[in-house]
Structure 1
Amino acid sequence: MIHIIHKRATPEQMQQMLEVLGIYIKLAVDIQRGILAGGGELHSDCEQVLLEDGSEQAHIWGADWYPLQQKVGYESLINLRPSVGNRSMEIQDSAVREQINRIVQNLLGGV
């Protein structure tokens, strides 16, 4: 189940987002709005939910959340953006990575 998370996730939301992959959650993070969508099979599924909610594609990045380690992963096909200098699936810009880490930790960390 994909959830859009605007404020700290509840344990129930975390459990539902973990149902798809079990040990981690695929995310799409809107760094402009400070929100995320998580729980789909693909990062693009989460990205689509954010787009339908009013996010702009340019502000959405793919990431993963590993709750047992409380760690963010920064690799996704939706991160391939040669036009903005991101030529790999992993987010290269450290400022973007820091924004994503802050948002994910605030919304999912410790839950």
Structure 2
Amino acid sequence: MVLIIRERATLQQVEQMLQTLELYIKIAVDIKKGILAGGGEKHAFCEAALLEDGSRQRNIWGADWIPFDQSITYESIINILPSQNNRSMLIQDPAIRELIKKITQELIGGYAPESR
């Protein structure tokens, strides 16, 4: 289930996003709007939800959120954006990684659902 999170998520929303992969949540973050889409099997599903919601492609970056240790990995195929000097699945720009971390922590951070 992919949810668009615009304000602090509830524990129930985090649990819903965890249903697919159980240990982590695939997310796509719109770094301009300060929102994210999370859940589902692929970052592309989250990206599509944001695009349908009006986000611009150039502002969307993919990552994984691991709620159990509150960590983020910044790797996704949707991050291969040569036009933005990102030729890797890993987000190269530390400023973009920091924005993603800040937005993610504000919207879905702090929850550590029961171990599965």
TM-score with structure 1 setting the length: 0.98
**Taking every aligned residue pair, what percent have the same amino acid on both sides?**
60
Q: Which residue of 1 aligns with 2:88?
A: 88
Q: Which residue of 1 aligns with 2:104?
A: 104
Aligned length: 111
Q: Quick one: distance in 1 between partners of 2:105 and 2:21?
A: 19
Give the SS at the match of 1:97: helix
Task: Please state how far the C-alpha of 1:83 moved relative to its aligned partner.
Answer: 1.5
1:13-63 CA distances to partner (integer Å, 9 max, x unpaired)?
011100000000000000000000000100000000000111000000001
- Unaligned ranges ≥5, structure 1: none
Q: Quick one: distance in 1 between partners of 2:35 and 2:83?
A: 24
Give the SS at the match of 2:39: strand
Q: Which residue of 2 aligns with 1:14?
A: 14
Q: Quick one: distance in 1 between partners of 2:56 and 2:83?
A: 16
Q: Quick one: distance in 2 between partners of 1:2 and 1:45?
A: 7
- Unaligned ranges ≥5, structure 2: 112-116
Read off the aligned partner of 2:77 and give its amino acid letter.
L
Read off the aligned partner of 1:50 and give its amino acid letter.
L
Q: Quick one: distance in 2 between partners of 1:70 and 1:6?
A: 19
After TM superposition, list the pairs within 5 Å mapping 1:15-34 onto structure 2.
15-34=15-34
Q: Which residue of 1 aligns with 2:114?
A: none
> What's the RMSD between the two structures over aligned residues?
0.5
TM-score with structure 2 setting the length: 0.94
Q: Quick one: distance in 2 between partners of 1:48 and 1:87?
A: 21
